[in-house]
Structures are given as structure tokens and as C-alpha cells.
């Protein structure tokens, strides 16, 4: 009994902080040691090295995002007085389509485990027009942050919830008043899995989680935070009536009941955690917004007439306060965008970066130019990344029991053909490899299911030339077809 208070204290220490804490059990003093920040080891060189596993070339872009990530960690180490004065340096990536702009930002978000949102600039309209305004970007980022925070807290509380699940199942099997000896015997059988087929009656929320009755009230446009908050409130009131949610009793095997009870216990434990506050903090301090196709909302200054497009310069003006720093009202609370990192990208074929509003250019101070992909780059994309296209095809065909092999000459021919098509038809970068690869694999993929187990197939240079011979002929004429 003397040990229980110390266990409770340890658990409270674990749950109060968003970072997991470790207890030194060897010492009697129970020294609490903070776990090392996961981003502590993400030094710029290590970030670039990790990005090299998935992305070929583009050293400047990798260095820019690595520095941006490290600066966010550095800012968190400062005192509050100087920390609030340091804002992130937003990045503008300029490069042709298919050269890796989006992939760089996506991998960066995976490394930092931060709330990340990718949006298309062309999906938004100027305030006053029908459509989505740019404030919706932050509301969507908060949804992502809320899911991420809930997932992190669920993992922290999972072990505690599993213990509660075991006790609750034992109560159903043996009764709460059963002696310790009988309860321990049931516990041993339960842990060994010998009772998984035993059926028990479990109280579950009526209608089940995520049922239709959870969305009885759906009012107007949920993009409006006030309407969304009112809708959530009415749904809660309709489900609970201000009281406990009605339960229904269901009979199910212990193997199924364990997961159902685990979900119920996790929900109860999460009620004691302020998820909204943690989610808002995560979005404000670590949030990353990637705005793609930003060049599509620019109009060339060569034309004196103003564009009437509701998705053009008006959206740029609306983005100015968002990127500079403002407060956005969401259904989770007010979110300050001062310290959110914005990464914008565009091909800038028809317009130049200087065609953007000067104020928006100033809010994207770091310029990174990505290079177009050469034939050697395309060959590296096919061979160097961990999940390259060649390995993907080998693994997919391998599920049919067929051993597929690509010769090096064939891979080089695929890269040469892709580079040639990019020059003669349209330069779509690395995405051209998908077109070429699917053309080569079409017949093999169709016949693989009918082949014998253990059959071997080899893709050589001759096969690649045969599959792509008609593509090159058609490509010469495709430019002249209306």
C-alpha cells in the first residue's frame, strides 16, 4: 500500500507535460529525467542525409528546409523574452514541375512529426466571393494538429488503459468480490489467450462511436467556425442531454470486447487532458503550411488590365496578414499565425517571382531554385531512393509469386526515354517515369496472375524499346493535334 501514492505521482508527472518523461527506477529518490527532444538529433546535416534517402539532388532546397527546421528547435531553447521576437523565415521554392518541391516539404513534416498541411493556392477565393477564403488554411491545420495531438496522447495513455481493460474484463468474468486467488487464476488464463473465445456482456455507447446520431445537427457551412462550434454543441446535447451518454449491452467474445473496452477507457482518460490547448500550441509553435502552385495566383505585369479572377491577386492580398501574423478564429479557439512556418512553391513558367505582390515577396525571404531533372537524375530516381519505382514494381509482381528483375541497361534506357519525352512533348519531370514505367509493365502486370509460382521475368533493354517504340512516334504528332 505504501507504493501506490508514488505510482500515482509518477503518472501525474507523465501526463502533465506533452513530452514523455522517464523515471529512473534504480534510485530510491525517483529522479525524473526528461526524455530527449525528438528534434534534438535533427541537425541540418542529418536532415539532409535523411532527405537524400527519398529525394535525388536539389541540395539547395534540402539545406533550406533543414536550416528552417533547426531554427525552430533553436527558438524553443531561448528565453521567453527573446523567443517572441524571433519569427520563422518562410521559404519560396522555384522550379519546374516534377522536380521534388512537394516531396521535400512532405518529408520534412514526417521528420519533425509536426502538424503539416499542404494546400493548393488555386482553391481559394478572395474574401467576399463564394468559395473558400484563406483563413480556412489555419482551420484545416488545426484539424490536423488535433488529430496528431490526440494520437500522441493516446499512445501515452495506452498502457494505463490496457490495465483498466484487464481489470474490467476480470470484473465481468469473476465479479468484483471474487477472492484474489480466483481472480489471479482468471488473470493468467486471460493473458495466455485461453479465454478469447469466451463471450461476455459489455456496455457500449448506444449507436456506437461515429454513428449517425452523432451528426443529427448539421447546420449550414461548417467552414464557419461559429457555426461549426454550435453544431458540435448541439450534437453533444442531443447525444447526452447534458447527462451521461446512454449505453446498451452487447454480447461479444473477449477478443473483440478487449478492443471495444480499450476505446471506451481511452476516451475516458483523454477527457482529463486538455487536447485543444495542446493542439493549438503545437500548431502555433511547430505548424508547417505548404502552399503549392502559388504562381497560378499571379498575373504578369506586362498586361496593364487587372484580372477579374476571384482566385488571383485578391488571394495574394488575403495571404499577406496570414503569413505576416494574425489571429484566426477556429472551433478549437483562437490561433496565432506569427510562428507558423510557410513554405510556398511554384513553377513560374508564365510569370516571374517578381510578379507577386511586393509585400508577399518580402514575407517569403528565402528563395530556393530547384533544378530541372537530367537523364542521370532520372536514373538515380529509379535506383537510389529507398522506395524507388523499380523496387515498387518488383514487390508488386512478387505478390503473385513471380520473380521480376530489371537489368541495369533497361533502367538506363527507361531514364533516357523519359528524358527524351520531357524534351519533345512536355517537361513534367520525374512524373514522366510513372508514364514510361506503366507502359512497360502493362502486359507483365496483366499476365502475372496467370503465371506459375516461382516464374522469373527479366526486363531488358530490348523489351523497353519495344514497349516505347510507338509512344515516340505518337509524341511527334501529338503537338499538332487540335
Q: Quickly list DSSP for 414-457.
A: HHHHHHHHHHHT---TTHHHHHHHHHHHHHHHHHGGGSPTT-EE
User: Are the CB atoms for 224 and 280 separated by under 8 Å?
Assistant: no
Q: What is the DSSP string of 237-294?
A: HHHHTTSPPPEEEEEEEHHHHHHHHHHHHHHHHHTTS-HHHHHHHHHHHH-EEEEE-G
If pLDDT is split at 50, 70 and 90, which confidence band does 224 have? low
pLDDT digits (tens, 9 = 90+) for 326-355: 999 998 999 999 999 999 999 888 888 888
**The pLDDT value given to residue 424:** 85
- Is the per-residue pLDDT at 86 higher than 60? yes
CB atoms within 10 A of CB 297: 26
**pLDDT computed for residue 3 by the predictor:** 37
Instruction: Output the pLDDT for position 219.
Output: 54
Are the C-beta atoms of 239 and 213 separated by less than 8 Å?
yes
**More confident site: 246 or 52:** 52
pLDDT beyond 60 at 408: yes
Task: Please give the backbone phi and psi of residue 207, each rounded to the nearest 5 degrees, phi first.
Answer: 85, -15
pLDDT at 59 over 70: yes
- As given in the structure block, the three cell numbers for residue 344 are 510556398
Given the DSSP bridges, would you call strands 366-369 and 21-23 parallel, antiparallel or unpaired?
A: unpaired
Q: How far apart are CA 437 and CA 262, in angstroms?
A: 45
Q: What is the mean pLDDT of residues 195-200?
A: 80
Predicted local distance difference test score (pLDDT) of residue 68: 86
Residues 6+ apart with CB under 8 A from 324: 363
Residue 390: the pLDDT is: 94
Quickly state the pLDDT bin for 376 (edges 50, 70, 90): very high
In the predicted model, is pLDDT for residue 396 greater than 50?
yes
Task: State the DSSP code for 147.
Answer: H
Mean per-residue pLDDT over the chain, rounded: 79
Nearest Cα residue to 190 out of 216, 217, 171: 171
Helix (H) or strand (E) holding 369: strand 366-369
Q: Does 58 have pLDDT greater than 70?
A: yes
More confident residue, 169 or 407: 407
Cβ contacts of 299 within 8 Å, gap of 6 or more? 306, 307, 309, 312, 313, 351, 355
Write the CB contacts of 461 (distance below 8 Å, at least 6 apart in sequence). 407, 409, 410, 412, 413
Given a cut of 80, whether residue 27 has pLDDT beyond it is no
pLDDT band at residue 281 using 50, 70 and 90 as cut-offs: very high
The pTM score is 0.75
Report how far apart, in Å, the C-alpha atoms of 189 and of each of 163, 165, 172, 178, 200 are: 15, 15, 14, 16, 15
Tell me: pLDDT of 459 over 60: yes
The percent of residues above 70 in pLDDT, for the chain, comes to 77
What proportion of the chain, given as a percentage, has pLDDT over 90? 33
Report the DSSP pairing between strands 288-292 and 341-346.
parallel
Q: Mean pLDDT highest for which of 99-108, 235-244, 386-395?
A: 386-395
Amino acid at each position: 500500500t505504501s507504493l501506490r501514492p508514488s505510482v500515482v505521482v509518477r503518472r501525474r508527472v507523465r501526463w502533465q507535460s506533452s513530452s514523455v518523461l522517464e523515471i529512473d527506477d534504480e534510485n530510491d529518490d525517483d529522479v525524473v529525467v526528461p526524455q530527449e527532444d525528438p528534434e534534438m538529433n535533427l541537425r541540418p546535416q542529418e536532415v539532409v542525409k535523411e532527405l537524400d534517402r527519398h529525394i535525388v539532388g536539389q541540395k539547395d532546397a534540402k539545406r533550406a528546409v533543414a536550416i528552417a527546421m533547426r531554427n525552430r528547435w533553436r527558438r524553443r531553447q531561448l528565453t521567453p523574452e527573446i523567443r517572441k521576437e524571433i519569427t520563422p523565415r518562410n521559404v519560396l521554392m522555384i522550379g519546374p514541375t516534377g522536380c521534388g518541391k512537394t516531396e521535400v516539404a512532405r518529408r520534412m513534416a514526417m521528420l519533425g512529426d509536426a502538424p503539416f498541411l499542404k494546400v493548393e493556392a488555386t482553391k481559394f477565393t478572395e474574401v467576399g466571393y463564394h468559395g473558400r477564403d484563406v483563413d480556412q488554411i489555419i482551420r484545416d491545420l488545426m484539424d490536423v494538429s488535433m488529430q496528431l495531438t490526440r494520437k500522441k496522447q493516446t499512445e501515452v495513455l495506452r498502457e494505463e488503459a490496457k490495465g483498466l481493460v484487464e481489470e474490467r474484463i476480470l470484473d465481468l468474468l469473476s465479479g468484483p468480490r471474487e477472492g484474489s486467488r480466483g481472480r489471479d487464476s482468471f488473470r493468467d488464463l486471460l493473458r495466455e489467450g485461453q479465454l478469447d473465445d469466451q463471450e461476455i456482456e459489455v456496455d457500449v455507447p448506444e449507436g456506437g462511436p461515429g454513428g449517425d446520431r452523432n451528426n443529427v445537427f448539421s447546420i449550414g457551412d461548417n467552414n464557419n467556425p461559429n457555426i461549426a462550434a454550435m453544431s458540435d454543441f448541439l450534437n453533444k446535447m442531443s447525444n447526452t442531454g447534458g447527462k451521461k451518454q446512454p449505453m446498451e449491452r452487447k454480447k461479444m467474445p473477449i477478443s473483440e470486447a478487449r478492443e471495444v473496452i480499450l476505446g471506451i477507457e481511452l476516451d475516458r482518460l483523454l477527457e482529463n487532458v486538455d487536447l485543444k490547448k495542446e493542439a493549438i500550441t503545437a500548431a502555433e509553435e511547430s505548424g508547417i503550411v505548404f502552399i503549392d502552385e502559388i504562381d497560378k495566383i499571379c498575373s504578369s505585369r506586362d498586361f496593364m488590365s487587372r484580372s477579374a479572377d476571384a482566385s488571383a491577386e485578391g488571394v495574394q492580398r488575403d495571404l499577406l496578414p496570414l503569413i505576416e501574423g494574425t489571429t484566426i478564429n477556429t472551433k478549437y479557439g483562437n490561433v496565432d499565425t506569427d510562428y507558423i512556418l510557410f513554405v510556398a512553391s511554384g513553377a513560374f513558367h508564365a510569370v516571374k517571382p517578381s510578379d507577386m505582390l511586393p509585400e508577399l515577396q518580402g514575407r517569403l525571404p528565402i528563395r530556393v531554385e530547384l533544378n530541372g531533372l537530367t537523364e542521370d537524375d532520372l536514373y538515380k530516381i529509379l535506383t537510389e531512393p529507398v522506395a524507388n519505382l523499380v523496387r515498387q514494381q518488383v514487390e508488386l509482381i512478387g505478390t503473385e509469386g513471380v520473380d521480376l528483375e530489371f537489368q541495369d541497361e533497361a533502367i538506363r534506357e527507361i531514364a533516357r526515354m523519359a528524358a527524351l519525352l520531357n524534351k519533345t512533348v512536355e517537361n513534367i519531370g520525374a512524373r514522366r517515369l510513372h508514364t514510361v514505367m506503366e507502359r512497360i509493365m502493362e502486359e507483365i502486370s496483366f499476365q502475372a496472375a496467370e503465371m506459375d509460382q516461382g516464374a522469373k521475368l527479366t526486363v531488358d533493354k530490348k523489351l523497353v524499346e519495344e514497349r516505347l517504340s510507338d509512344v515516340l512516334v505518337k509524341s511527334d504528332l501529338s503537338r499538332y493535334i487540335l
